[in-house]
A = this chain, B = another copy of it.
Amino acid sequence: MAKDTINVGLVGFGTVGSGLASIMLDPSSELDKKLGFSMKLAKIVDKDITTDRGVKIPDGILTNDLSEVLDDPAIDIVVELVGGTGFAGDLIMRAINAGKHVVSANKALLAHKGGEIFAAASARGVEVGFEASVAGGIPIIKVMKEGLVANRILSVYGIINGTANYILSRMTTECAPFGDVLADAQKLGYAEADPTFDIEGIDAAHKLTILGSLAFGIPLAFDKVYTEGITKITPVDIAFASEFGYRIKLLGIAKSDGSEVELRVHPTMIPEGQMLAKVDGVFNALYVDGDAVGATMYYGRGAGSRPTGSAVLADIVDIARNIRGGAVGRVPAFGRPIDEPLPVKDMQRVKSSYYFRFSVQDRPGVLSKIAGILGNNSISIESVIQKGRKEGGSVPLVILTHEAVEENVTRALAEINALESVDPGAVMIRVEGAEG
B294 lies within 8 A of A297 (CB)? no
Q: Is A307 touching B321 in the complex (CB atoms < 8 A)?
A: no
Using a Cβ–Cβ cut-off of 8 Å, how many residues does chain A contribute to the interface with B?
Answer: 60
CA distance A273 to B273 in the complex (A): 11
CA–CA, A137 to B335, complex, Å? 18
A150 close to B325 (CB less than 8 A): no
Q: Is A292 a contact partner of B137 (Cβ separation < 8 A)?
A: yes
State in angstroms the CA–CA spacing of A217 and B327 once bound together.
26
A331 to B329, CA, bound (A): 16
Q: Are A310 and B292 in contact (CB under 8 A)?
A: yes
Are A150 and B294 interface neighbours, CB within 8 A? no
Do A296 and B299 have beta carbons less than 8 Å apart?
A: yes
Closest residue on chain B to residue A285 by CB atoms: B297
Does A74 count as interface, using CB distance less than 8 angstroms? no
Residues of B within 8 A of A306 (CB): 292-294
The residue of chain B having its C-beta at the shortest distance from the C-beta of A142 within the complex is B147
| B299, A293: Cβ atoms closer than 8 Å | no
What is the 8 Å Cβ interface bit string for chain A, positions 13-37, against chain B (1 contact, 0 not)?
Answer: 0000001000100001111011010
Q: A19, A31, A139: which has the most chain B beta carbons within 10 Å? A: A139
Q: Which residues of B contact A318 (CB under 8 A)?
A: 146
Chain B residues closer than 8 Å to A81, beta-carbon distance: none
Question: Is the C-beta of A151 less than 8 angstroms from some C-beta in chain B?
Answer: yes
Q: Which residues of B contact A304 (CB under 8 A)?
A: 294
B313–A321 touching, CB < 8 Å:
no
Instruction: Give me 18 A-to-B residue pairs in the complex whose CB atoms sit less than 8 angstroms apart, sorted by A's number.
Output: A28-B152, A34-B336, A131-B147, A137-B296, A139-B147, A146-B317, A150-B310, A151-B310, A273-B278, A275-B278, A292-B306, A293-B301, A293-B307, A294-B304, A295-B301, A322-B325, A325-B325, A330-B330
CB-CB nearest 9 A-B residue pairs: A139-B147, A325-B327, A296-B300, A327-B327, A150-B313, A137-B293, A297-B299, A292-B310, A293-B310
